Amino acid sequence: MNVEPLASGVFAPIDEVIEAASQGKAFVLLDDAERENEGDLVVLADKVSVATINMMIRYGSGIICLAISEQHANRLGLALMPRRNAKDGCTAFTTSIDARYGITTGVSAYDRATTILAAVAEHSTADDIVTPGHVFPIIADSGGVTKRAGHTEASVEIAKLAGATSAAVICELMNPDGTMSRLPEIIAFAQAHDVGVTTIKGLVEYLSNS
């Protein structure tokens, strides 16, 4: 899935991103300049691989987040992290997690992929995870991307559209100098790694026309 840089950037159609995501391919999800103005590398949670987690650690912030629904969080027995001086609409982080079985320290790409797959397994429960850990679940707003236009809600929505479990793995892209990647760097990353780039705004428009 090639992305050619133009003055305004060229974004992959939502249908194309959904199809690629259903095959386990990662993509970049970009929010508005008026919001975070950041791109998250995203993969469907039930398609996650060690290679994708490695890519997120190498080119992203290294904070591997698992975007899930409130119902999913409840099934895993996850409560929101305590909040202090937080703004309305801030990211809904829960207690961090590790898989209960099949990992060592929990920090390796292998261990984090194992944790994610354990958490999103069809019959997973609180008995399958340990808290705290090295993966950071975040709860999507129940109103979806039309209520909160965040990477969390958008990635969960794309997971639904792809026919997967309503969960996705997301990680913010960063530049080598430690600053957050913006559109020019994101387009360059997408070209180098053959991943699609789409926008939350485009997803909202897609849903409104569906």
Q: What is the pLDDT of residues 131-190, one digit of tens each?
A: 999 999 999 999 999 899 899 999 999 999 999 888 999 999 999 999 999 989 999 999
Tell me if 33 is assigned to some domain: yes
What gap in Å lies between CA 2 and CA 25, rounded to an integer?
Answer: 13
pTM for this model (two decimals)? 0.92
Instruction: Name the residue among 67, 69, 59 with its Cα closest to residue 151.
Output: 67
Tell me if 77 is assigned to some domain: yes
Task: Encode pLDDT of 23-56 as tens digits.
Answer: 999 999 998 765 557 899 999 999 999 999 999 9
What residues make up the domain containing 81? 14-179+193-209
Q: Where are the alpha helices (DSSP H) in the chain?
A: 14-22, 50-59, 70-75, 109-120, 151-161, 183-193, 200-209
Tell me if 151 is assigned to some domain: yes
Tell me if 117 is assigned to some domain: yes
Tell me if 172 is assigned to some domain: yes
Q: At what angle do helices 109-120 and 50-59 cross, to 10 degrees?
A: 120
Chain centroid to CA 128: how far? 21
CATH code for the domain of 97: 3.90.870.10
Q: How many domains does the chain have?
A: 1
CA angle 127, 129, 132 (to 5 degrees): 130
What is the average pLDDT across 59-81?
Answer: 96
